[in-house]
Every structure is written in C-alpha cells, then in structure tokens.
C-alpha cells in the first residue's frame, strides 16, 4: 500500500526521529506549562516549615501518629484528553515545496502527539474528509503514538473533500467534554456555521491549525489565460493570473484574518503554518502567546 514520502523516504522511523528530537527540549516544556492539569493528586508527607507553610496545610491526623507536624505534598494531576481532528481530504496531497501538505501535517501531528504523550496525557485522533475515515479514542503510551503515525502516512486514508462543519458537529456530539481539540486542515473550504463553532469552543479547548502550501496563498506568475476546474463539482473558470494575483492574495489574507478573529471571538485559538517554513519555532511562539494570555 502506498505511503507518503518526505525527503529520502517518509516512514515511521523518519517521523519518530523528528518527534524525539523535539520531545526533550523547549517544545515539551512549553506544552506542560501551557496545558496544565485540572486537579491535584496526593504525593507524600513532609515536615511542616513554619516560615513557609500555611498552618491550614497541616494534616493533624498524620501529625498525631508520629508526634510531628506534617503537611501533605501534592503533584499536578494531568487529566487532559487530547483529540486531533485531522483533515485527510485529497487536497492535502498537494504541494509545491519538498513536502506535501499531508506530509508536513504528519510531522507536525506526530511531533506534538509525542510531546503530549510524554507529558502523560492521553491522545486520540479522528481522520476526516467529507466523512469520518477513522477514529481512535484517546489513550496513553507508545502503541498509541505508532497508531497515529501509521494512519497518517497511509495514502488510502486520503480521499474526498474537506467538510469542517461536519467534523465539528461530530466532535461536539462524540468527544468528551473539556477535551483539548486540535483541528488540523488547510481550511481551503473554511467553516460555515458560526453557531456550531461557538458551541464547540464553549464545550472544548479548541485550537485550529491551518497548514497552507505557498501556492494556496498566491497565484503563480504566468502569461496568458488559464482554465481552473473545481475537482469536486467540475465547474470551470477562465482567468488571467497576472490580472487577479494581487486581488487573490489580498482576499485570501482577509479570509484567514476573518477566520482567526471569528475563532478567537468564541474563545478558540488559531495557528497558521506554511509548508516552506519549519513549524517548531511557530509552535513554541504560539505556546508562549497562550501562556501570556492565561497568566
């Protein structure tokens, strides 16, 4: 069965290497600091320090047993279910750089997944186009990481067209409340229902990650006229690229800004990535902005 390729060969080994390179450094530290757990879990007792500890922290029963004042030590209880909503429509198999959008997306999702799993949080995913292609519920451990990467590189999983409203509605009805949802797509077709977006943003911690190829952002230079065809409807349009290039780029940027503003209005967050630029720095910057926002 065909698999995606990156550079000399896109494989589980290649994607595992990329993810491991990130998991031990700033990438993981930023994830832990930004996406904190929802509670505290008892760890151990220690001796009461009058200069630093509040007297209300004293555990009187435990102190009485050994005739010494003790306080309880707690550790953060990580209890975040993370579900990636991954666009596997055929348009993700396009690209003008050394990586298709799907290949870039696979490295991004795998890298972030490994860091989330290393932090102790369960990760799951839903592959979608205009239908649900595959779903794996959140879980922990290395086997879960390999389930994610294995499915991302199978080209048979890429089909149909992207329906953002469909996947948002499906997630709203089926994913555990208060989960972290990370929706990854090129958003060429965008989303239609603001009401649905508002509902999803209220129920979950929602992050939309837009992955674009440079050719998604501007029309390449070239003389003469060109016929464009919608691969799904079959509709055609005759254009003169040089005449509409500036307007196309302007409208494209305006639409992205509109999507970002709409999402942020309802409490979600937006991250833009482009396949000709490494994603690590942009993700770390995103984490820092989020940390500053919620500090």
**Is the CB of residue 12 less than 8 Å from the CB of residue 153?**
yes
The pLDDT value given to residue 124: 96
Looking at the structure, tell me whether residues 124 and 101 fall in a common domain. yes
In a 13 Å sphere around the CA of 54, the CA atoms on its Cβ side amount to 3
Looking at the structure, tell me whether residues 185 and 55 fall in a common domain. no
- Once rounded to an integer, what is the mean pLDDT over residues 182-186? 96
Q: Report d(CA 185, CA 175) in Å as an integer.
A: 19
Q: For residue 59, tell me if it sits in a domain.
A: yes
Looking at the structure, tell me whether residues 174 and 28 fall in a common domain. yes
Looking at the structure, tell me whether residues 99 and 212 fall in a common domain. yes
The tens digit of pLDDT for each residue in 50-61 reads 877 878 788 888
The pLDDT value given to residue 172: 96
- Once rounded to an integer, what is the mean pLDDT over residues 261-289? 89
Q: For residue 160, tell me if it sits in a domain.
A: yes
Average pLDDT value for the chain: 82
The tens digit of pLDDT for each residue in 208-247 reads 999 999 988 887 776 677 776 676 677 887 777 777 778 8
The pLDDT value given to residue 134: 96
Number of domains in the chain: 2
In this predicted structure, the answer to whether residue 207 has a pLDDT above a threshold of 90 is yes
In this predicted structure, the answer to whether residue 10 has a pLDDT above a threshold of 50 is no
CA angle 187, 124, 144 (to 5 degrees): 130
- Once rounded to an integer, what is the mean pLDDT over residues 146-174? 93
Among 23, 54, 77, residue at a domain's last position: 77
The pLDDT value given to residue 72: 78
- Once rounded to an integer, what is the mean pLDDT over residues 112-137? 92
In this predicted structure, the answer to whether residue 70 has a pLDDT above a threshold of 80 is yes
Contacts 24+ apart (CB under 8 A), 47-56: 47/71
> Which residue do the tokens 């952002």 mark?
217
Q: For residue 240, tell me if it sits in a domain.
A: no
Scored b (16 or more CB within 10 A) or e, 82-116 reads bbbbbbbbbbbeebeeebbbbbbbbbbbbbbbbbb
**At 170, is the pLDDT very low, low, confident or very high (cuts 50, 70, 90)?**
very high
In this predicted structure, the answer to whether residue 282 has a pLDDT above a threshold of 50 is yes
Q: For residue 237, tell me if it sits in a domain.
A: no
What CATH number does the domain containing 180 carry?
A: 3.40.50.410
Looking at the structure, tell me whether residues 131 and 259 fall in a common domain. yes
**At 294, is the pLDDT very low, low, confident or very high (cuts 50, 70, 90)?**
low
Range of the domain at 173: 12-35+84-218+255-294
Looking at the structure, tell me whether residues 193 and 261 fall in a common domain. yes
Looking at the structure, tell me whether residues 174 and 99 fall in a common domain. yes
The pLDDT value given to residue 53: 81
Q: Report d(CA 241, CA 149) in Å as an integer.
A: 38
Looking at the structure, tell me whether residues 48 and 174 fall in a common domain. no
Of 53-57, 68-72, 204-208, give the lowest mean pLDDT range: 53-57
Looking at the structure, tell me whether residues 126 and 62 fall in a common domain. no
Tokens representing 72 are: 């309880």
Higher pLDDT: 267 or 236? It is 267
The pLDDT value given to residue 75: 55
The tens digit of pLDDT for each residue in 87-115 reads 999 999 999 998 899 999 998 998 888 88
- Percentage of the chain with pLDDT > 90? 40
Looking at the structure, tell me whether residues 208 and 116 fall in a common domain. yes
**At 62, is the pLDDT very low, low, confident or very high (cuts 50, 70, 90)?**
confident
In this predicted structure, the answer to whether residue 11 has a pLDDT above a threshold of 60 is no
Q: For residue 226, tell me if it sits in a domain.
A: no
Of 60-64, 163-167, 225-229, give the lowest mean pLDDT range: 225-229
């Amino acid at each position: 069965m065909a698999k995606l390729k990156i550079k000399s060969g896109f494989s589980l080994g290649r994607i595992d290497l990329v993810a491991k390179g990130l998991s031990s450094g700033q990438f993981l530290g930023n994830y832990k600091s930004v996406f904190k757990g929802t509670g505290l879990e008892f760890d151990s007792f220690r001796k009461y320090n009058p200069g630093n500890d509040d007297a209300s922290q004293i555990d009187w029963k435990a102190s009485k047993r050994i005739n010494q004042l003790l306080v309880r030590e707690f550790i953060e209880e990580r209890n975040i279910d993370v579900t990636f909503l991954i666009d596997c429509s055929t348009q993700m198999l396009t690209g003008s750089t050394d990586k298709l959008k799907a290949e870039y997306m696979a490295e991004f999702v795998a890298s972030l997944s490994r860091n989330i799993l290393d932090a102790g949080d369960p990760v799951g995913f839903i592959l979608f186009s205009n239908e649900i292609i595959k779903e794996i519920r959140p879980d922990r451990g290395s086997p879960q990481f390999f389930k994610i990467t294995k499915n991302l590189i199978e080209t048979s999983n890429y089909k149909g067209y992207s329906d953002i409203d469909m996947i948002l509605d499906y997630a709203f009805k089926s994913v555990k409340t208060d989960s972290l949802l990370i929706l990854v797509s090129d958003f060429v077709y965008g989303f239609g229902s603001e009401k649905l977006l508002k509902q999803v943003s209220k129920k979950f911690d929602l992050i939309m990650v837009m992955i674009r190829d440079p050719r998604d952002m501007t029309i390449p230079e070239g003389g003469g006229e060109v016929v464009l065809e919608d691969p799904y409807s079959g509709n055609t349009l005759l254009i003169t690229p040089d005449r509409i290039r500036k307007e196309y780029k302007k409208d494209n940027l305006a639409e992205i800004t509109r999507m970002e503003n709409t999402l942020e209005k309802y409490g979600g967050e937006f991250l833009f990535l482009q396949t000709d630029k490494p994603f690590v720095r942009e993700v770390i910057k995103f984490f820092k902005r989020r940390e500053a926002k919620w500090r």
